[in-house]
Structure 1
Amino acid sequence: MTRAPLALAVAVVLNGFASVTASADPLPSWAVSETRDRIVEFVEAVTDPENASYVTPAARIAVFDNDGTLWAEQPVYFQFIFAMDRLSELAEQDPSILSTPALKAAAEGDLATVLQGGHDALIEVVNASHSGTTVEAFQAAVAQWLAEASHPDTGLPYDQMTYQPMVELLRYLRDEGFKTYIVSGGGIHFMRVFAEQAYGIPPEQILGTYGNSTFEDVDGVPTVVKAPGIAFIDDKEGKPINIERTIGKRPILAGGNSDGDFAMLDWTTSGDGPRLAVLIHHTDAEREWAYDRESPIGRLVDGLDQGPDKGWVIVDMAKDWSRVYTGGN
Structure 2
Amino acid sequence: MNKKVVLSVLLLAAMSSAQAADPLSAWNDTAAKNAIMQWVQNATNQDRSTYIPPDKRYVVFDNDGTLWPEAPLTFQLQFAVDEVKRLAPQHPEWKNDPVLGAVLNNDLKAVAASGEKGLMQLLAATHSDITTEEFAQRVSQWVDNQRDQRFGCRYDSMGYQPMRQVLDYLRDNGFKTWIISGGGIDFMRVLSQKMYGIPPEQVVGSFSLSEFSLTEDGTQLRKTMKGAFNDDAAAKPVAIHLFMGQRPVAAFGNSDGDLAMMQYTAANPDFKTFGLIVHHTDDKREYAYDSHPPASGKLVEGLTVAKEKGWTVVDMQKDWKTVFDPAQCALKPGN
TM-score, normalisation: structure 1: 0.91
1:211-231, Cα deviation, whole Å (9 max, x unpaired): 132112333422110012452
Any unmatched runs of 5+ in structure 1? 1-16
| 2:76 paired with 1:79 | yes
2:161 equivalent in structure 1: 164
Structure 2 residue 152 is matched with structure 1 residue 152: no
Q: Deviations over 1:156-187 (max 9, x none)?
A: 11112210000000000000000000000000
Name the stretch that deviates more: 101-110 or 20-29. Answer: 20-29
Q: Where does 1:233-248 land on structure 2 (aligned, <5 Å)?
A: 233-248=230-245
Matched, 1:317 2:311: no
SS of the equivalent of 2:21 reads coil
In the alignment, the residues of structure 2 paired with residue 60 and residue 176 of structure 1 have an alpha-carbon distance, to the nearest angstrom, of 9
Relative to structure 2, which stretch is displaced further, 22-31 or 64-73? Answer: 22-31
**What residue number does 1:328 align with?**
330
Distance in 2 (alpha carbons) for counterparts of 1:219 and 1:109: 41
Q: Name the count of aligned residue pairs.
A: 311
Q: Distance in 2 between matches of 1:262 and 1:149?
A: 32
1:263-292 C-alpha deviation (Å, 9 max, x unpaired): 001110111221001100001111111000
* CA drift at 1:98: 5.1
Task: Return the match for 2:282 from 281, 284, 288.
Answer: 284
1:43 aligns with 2:45: no
| Residues 304 and 320 (structure 1), Cα distance of their counterparts in 2 relative to 1, 3 Å cut | same
Match of 1:126 in 2: 123
Q: Give the alignment partner of residue 216 of structure 1, picking from 209, 213, 217.
A: 213
Contact 1:85 1:109 in 2 (8 A): no
Superposed displacement of residue 109, structure 1:
3.4
Q: Which runs of 5+ in 2 are unaligned?
A: 1-13
| Contact 1:85/1:107 (8 A) holds in 2 | no
Please give the alpha-carbon distance, in whole angstroms, between the structure 2 residues aligned to 1:151 and 1:23: 30
Q: 1:62 matched to which residue of 2?
A: 59
Calculate percent identity across the aligned residue pairs.
Answer: 42
Contact 1:66–1:184, Cα closer than 8 Å, also in 2: yes
Amino acid at match of 1:313: T
Q: 2:228 maps to which residue?
A: 231
Q: Aligned-pair distance for 1:118?
A: 1.4
- CA RMSD of the aligned region, Å? 1.7
User: 2:76 matched to 1:93?
Assistant: no
Distance 2:107 2:212 in 1: 34
Return the alpha-carbon distance in structure 1 between the equivalents of residues 45 and 191 of structure 2: 33
Contact 2:19 2:25 in 1 (8 A): no
Residue among 140, 147, 155 paired with 2:137? 140
CA positional deviation for 1:250: 0.4
> d(CA) in 2 for partners of 1:320 and 1:107?
40
Counterparts in 2 of 1:304 and 1:135: CA distance versus 1, 3 Å: same
Taking the aligned partners of 2:209 and 2:124, their CA distance within structure 1 comes to: 10
Specify the code of the residue in structure 2 equivalent to 1:246: F
1:194 aligns to 2:209 (yes or no): no
Whether contact under 8 Å (1:127, 1:229) holds in the other structure is no
8 Å CA contact 1:63–1:180 kept in 2: the answer is: yes
Q: Which residue of 1 aligns with 2:257?
A: 260
User: Which residue number in structure 1 is paired with residue 299 of structure 2?
Assistant: 300
CA distance in 1 between counterparts of 2:201 and 2:152 reads 31
CA drift of 1:94 comes to 3.0
Residue 146 of structure 1: how far off its partner (Å) = 0.6
- Contact map agreement 1:185 1:233 (CA 8 A) in 2: yes
